[in-house]
Amino acid sequence: MKMLVKQIYENAKELDKSKIKIKGWVVTSRGNKKIQFIELNDGSSVLHLQLVLKSEKMDLNDIHFKTGSSIKAEGILNYTPKAEQSVELIVDKISLLAQSDEDFPIQTKKTTLEFLRTIPHLRHRSNTIKAVMLVRSSISFFIHEYFQKNDFSLVAAPIITSNDGEGAGETFIVDSEDKEPFFGNNVKATLGVTGQLHAEAYALGLQKVYTFAPTFRAENSNTKKHAAEFWMVEPEVAFFTLKELIQMSEEMLKYVIKKVLEKRRDELVFLDTHIKPGLIQSLEDFLESNLEIIEYRKVIEILEKNKVFFEEQNIEFGMDLKTEHERFIAEKYAKGPVGVINYPKKLKAFYMYQNDDNETVAAFDLLVPGIGELVGGSQRENRYEKLEQRIQELNIDQKDIQWYLDLRKYGYSGSAGFGLGLERLVMYITGIDNIRDSIPFPRTPNNLKM
Amino acid sequence: MKMLVKQIYENAKELDKSKIKIKGWVVTSRGNKKIQFIELNDGSSVLHLQLVLKSEKMDLNDIHFKTGSSIKAEGILNYTPKAEQSVELIVDKISLLAQSDEDFPIQTKKTTLEFLRTIPHLRHRSNTIKAVMLVRSSISFFIHEYFQKNDFSLVAAPIITSNDGEGAGETFIVDSEDKEPFFGNNVKATLGVTGQLHAEAYALGLQKVYTFAPTFRAENSNTKKHAAEFWMVEPEVAFFTLKELIQMSEEMLKYVIKKVLEKRRDELVFLDTHIKPGLIQSLEDFLESNLEIIEYRKVIEILEKNKVFFEEQNIEFGMDLKTEHERFIAEKYAKGPVGVINYPKKLKAFYMYQNDDNETVAAFDLLVPGIGELVGGSQRENRYEKLEQRIQELNIDQKDIQWYLDLRKYGYSGSAGFGLGLERLVMYITGIDNIRDSIPFPRTPNNLKM
């Protein structure tokens, strides 16, 4: 029967002595005139299947498969739990489907991630990028599964928008090549930096919603954490308070991590071995932990006491936490993911709920080791006057977001939501430390391949 | 316990006489000083829950909830299978969370879909758009579920691309507002019209992949079927032939429709009643049918015999089928979804596998009643020379897609895939006949709201 490598490993014992047909690509090939061993990968797993070719079954002089070539084979599966390879296929028939050129760039000799970034159309054929992309796919799906199981509706927030979102600036402009502006003369069309405001509109009516879509920032920064195009997951729930939001984010992350640990164990073992030792243990520790919540005010106290560790030592209430501070809080203080709440309002966007202290807003950032901020969210300001006042204080053009203010007129008694950067979650779960390796075709300043 | 309306209807019998807490929005409210009835919708279903307020439990003079207001209530559930309303909540406590203004535009009086398009931030609070958007969410999820269950990996094809895809032109240009081009001087950054070429790169290595992402066309056309921004699902499978691709598309569509019929029955019943009578029957008929496959050549013969029915009566081999022709084949000839294969190569994109007749390509369009083309796919040309020759014949700039040609050098023995427009599938399954009502914030020429 036709099988995938992942299925074979998962059912090796039951499949022992079965006749198996398989297609895939040659990773390595070695041997002599009597016996040859071919490692085949078929893309379903980071694991390869060992094919064993014996001279009594075929003329091994005819077998010359270069690395990267596609082949098909059939044979009898041999389950050998005590051997180094727990399973192998004793081949009866094998044939070449398409030979690969000699210059196939993914050879078994060590290639660097930097080099692989120059060939985004081929790099997923390396073990590391393959493992990351398989994990990424599973993360994406389990996010959907979590929300759908919990009665959230997926909402397609628009990509092209007349709304500049958080007023964060740094947007991409969009237009057709025609003389006339495609969307008309009185509107500025940009690529959305967030789907949140649109999600809020839908939460008012559908109650529990989430978006899962690409978002964009034209930020001219070349860091390991920033890309111009990245995917965001933005749940929004009517009637939710900040506390309920934090609970939900913890539950969601734990659901996804637990599922990925089950489904993509082999890939995580590979990444633990080759990319980040201790990866699996740290994920399992998170599953066992209770998310600690700290007030921003308390964070400042902690940082102040430890300021010798930082480049930025000017620690005071009102400061924007840098990645070094966020990582310190997660890695040294909490020793795991940690939630920070109630930030000074001047640091945060206009739509956040203003606390009674008149100084802070009901914001929430989830900080994780190795990354810093993974999730940022808040309870939203439901009071029309407070929201309008904040918009005016910040000199945001009210006309553009009057529709958003208007939501407060029609039965809006509050909502809360967060944004989760998918690539950051991929980095956290795979241990990969550069965002360029967490997304198939990364877009950064002066870099647009394919 | 806290419940959603959907959960209450699904478990009404078991919940009979239970104490229930609920939050939601007032749809209607009527009654007198003795008894009042409030229809509450909480966004989990197109169905409302009837709240019954009695004067012996509370002072009904205090109850003035305008349509659209958010409220919370608790009471005892009353399961009444023989009554018009199979379930109602006998309220013990009720309170207003946020009053709605008088001018809330979604009142029970009939509003038109045209009017609703002017208020995309509120229109999902109407029954029709709510039903469509709930179905859309479920369709999206079951597409993911089908592919993931079948060992496909989700691949994030890029949105911003230097690749103009099918050479179809009509792309949107993207840049930052800085003086220097964000992606550099030697590259044209556009919004992707397809993720297919990138998916093919990933199929070479991961074998079974799919994309699910927004795509864009700057086409200046105002029809019921076209939007400038729409979501595409594009599976691509290495080693697949056209025949296997067609089987997979049928299986996938049937999986999704079957699941949606179960999960979103109430919404489909609503749409069947109010939007498109016979909707559910036609979906169930499709599930029971075997997809018929017709050669393009045969389609021309059929159309020729029936040309009196068409505006375009110039029927000949080589013609591009118009929607009227596609719909005739689906609605009158096949009386259901139908696959058309082996189109003349001049009608199709450069990457399709060239059949031995030297005249047609291994293309496949799935035509459905009411819509026309729902799915378009093909087996891809795996022969480097044939592909290069076709690129040159069509005057496509080879430099831009050399990377795509290069895939053929490294063990590419063929793949096949299709593109499914999500909004068209939403239209097919919901019976909604304008694409503007199938996506939350539609983008069309001169129309960019929010």
pLDDT tens sequence across A114-172: 999 999 999 999 999 999 999 999 999 999 999 999 999 999 999 999 986 555 568 99
DSSP A143-171: HHHHHHHTTPEE----SEES--TTT---P
Q: What is the pLDDT of residues A188-198, one digit of tens each?
A: 999 999 999 99
> Given an 8 Å threshold on Cβ–Cβ distance, is B160 in contact with A439?
no
- Residue length, chain A? 450
- Write the CA distances from B77 to A104, B8, B14, B96, B449, integer angstroms: 67, 9, 10, 20, 41
For position A62, what pLDDT does the model report? 83
Mean pLDDT value of segment A251-275 = 98
d(CA A312, CA B73): 51
Q: Do the first three CATH levels of B5-104 and B123-437 match, i.e. the same topology?
A: no
User: Who has greater pLDDT, A2 or B166?
Assistant: A2
Give the pLDDT score at B186.
86
| Cβ-based contacts of A178 with chain B (< 8 Å) | 218, 220
Check if the beta carbon of residue A130 is closer than 8 Å to that of residue A124.
Answer: yes
The full DSSP string for B359-406 is SEEEEEEEEETTTEEEEEEEEBP--HHHHHHHHHHTT--GGGGHHHHH
Average pLDDT, chain A: 95
CA–CA min distance A251, chain B (Å):
18
- Rounded Cα–Cα distance for residues B370 and B431 (Å): 8
Contacts of A443 in chain B (CB under 8 A): 158, 160, 183
Cβ distance of B214 and A443 shorter than 8 Å: no
pLDDT at A107: 86
Q: Do B403 and A184 touch (CB under 8 A)?
A: no
CA distance B325 to B320: 9
CA distances for B272 relative to A36, B279, B412, angstroms: 63, 5, 46
Whether residue B133 and residue A202 make contact (CB cut-off 8 A), yes or no, is yes
Contacts of B23 in chain A (CB under 8 A): 207, 238-239
A153-154/A208-216 β-pairing: parallel
Q: Return the residue of B nearest to A440 by Cα.
A: B156
Mutate to test the interface with B, among A9, A174, A385 (most CBs of B within 10 A): A174
Residues of A in contact with B100 (CB under 8 A): 409-411
CB < 8 Å to A68, chain B: 410-411
At A388-431, the pLDDT tens digits run: 999 999 998 898 899 999 999 999 999 999 999 999 999 999 99
Which residues in chain B have Cβ-Cβ distances shorter than 8 Å to A197?
450
| C-alpha–C-alpha distance, residues A273 and A268, integer Å | 8
Q: What distance in Å separates the CA atoms of residue B450 and residue B447, rounded to the nearest whole number? A: 10
Say if the Cβ atoms of B70 and A239 lie within 8 Å.
Answer: yes
Instruction: Tell me yes or no: is domain A123-437 CATH 3.30.930.10.
Output: yes
Pairwise CB contact (< 8 Å): A176 & B175: no
Residue A75 to chain B, least CA–CA distance (Å):
19
Chain A contacts of B127, Cβ < 8 Å?
none
Q: What angle do CA B298, B299, B303 make, to 5 degrees?
A: 120
How sure is the predictor about A110, in pLDDT bands with cuts at 50, 70 and 90? confident
The pLDDT, as a whole number, for residue B170 is 87
For residue A72, give the chain B residue with the closest CA: B239
> Which of B70, B120, B198 lies at the smallest CB-CB distance from A440?
B198
Distance from CA of A315 to the nearest CA of B (A): 33
Q: Give me the residue spans of the domains in chain A.
A: 5-104, 123-437
Contact residues on chain B for A153, CB-CB shorter than 8 A: 43, 133-134, 137
Query: For the residues of B154-172, what is the DSSP string, one character each?
Result: E----SEES--TTT---PP
Cβ contact B137–A125 (<8 Å): no
Candidate from A175, A213, A413 with C-beta closest to B98: A413
Is-contact B59 B36, C-beta < 8 A? no
Check CB contact under 8 Å for A136 and B154: yes
Q: Select the residue of A122, A202, A409 nearest B410 (Cβ to Cβ).
A: A122
pTM above 0.95, yes or no: yes
Q: Kindly report the CATH number that applies to the domain delimited by B5-104.
A: 2.40.50.140
Triad A267, A270, A272: Cα angle to 5°: 110
Q: Is the pLDDT of residue A178 over 90?
A: no
Confidence of residue A359 (pLDDT cuts 50, 70, 90): very high
Q: How far is the C-alpha of B61 from the C-alpha of B55, rounded, in Å?
A: 9
For chain B, the residue count is: 450
The beta-carbon neighbor of B187 closest among A171, A229, A448 is A448
Q: Quick one: closest CA in A to B147, which residue?
A: A141
A279 to chain B, minimum CA–CA distance in Å?
A: 22
- Check pLDDT > 90 for residue A109: no
Select the residue of A121, A156, A189 nearest B231 (Cβ to Cβ): A156
A160–B104 C-beta distance less than 8 A: no
Which chain B residue shows the shortest CA-CA distance from A5?
Answer: B151
Sign of the dihedral defined by the CA atoms of residues B117, B123, B124, B126, in that order: negative
Q: Which residues of chain B carry a pLDDT beneath 50?
A: none
Task: Provide the number of CB pairs (under 8 Å) joining chain A to chain B.
Answer: 326
* CA distances (Å), origin B179, targets A145, B175, B182, B185, B381: 43, 10, 9, 11, 41
pLDDT computed for residue A98 by the predictor: 97
How many angstroms separate the CA atoms of A53 and A170, rounded? 58
- By Cβ distance, the residue of B72, B124, B197 closest to A202 is B124
Contact by Cβ (8 Å): B62, B71: no
CA–CA distances in Å: residue B48 to residues B29, B32, B42:
12, 20, 8
Helix (H) or strand (E) holding B97: strand B87-98
Q: Which residue of A has its CA nearest to B206?
A: A43
**Are B228 and A122 inside 8 Å of each other by CB?**
no
Question: What average pLDDT does the segment A336-349 reach?
Answer: 95
B100·A410 Cβ contact <8 A: yes
Contact list in A for residue B382 (CB cut-off 8 A) is: 98
User: Smallest Cα–Cα separation from A362: which of A193, A246, A237?
Assistant: A246
Interface test with A, best of B139, B448, B449 (most A CBs within 10 A): B448
Please judge whether A218 and B404 are an interchain contact, meaning their C-beta atoms are less than 8 angstroms apart. no
**Residue of A130, A413, A441 with shortest CB distance to B205:** A130
Instruction: Give B-chain residues touching A238 at CB under 8 angstroms.
Output: 23, 43, 70
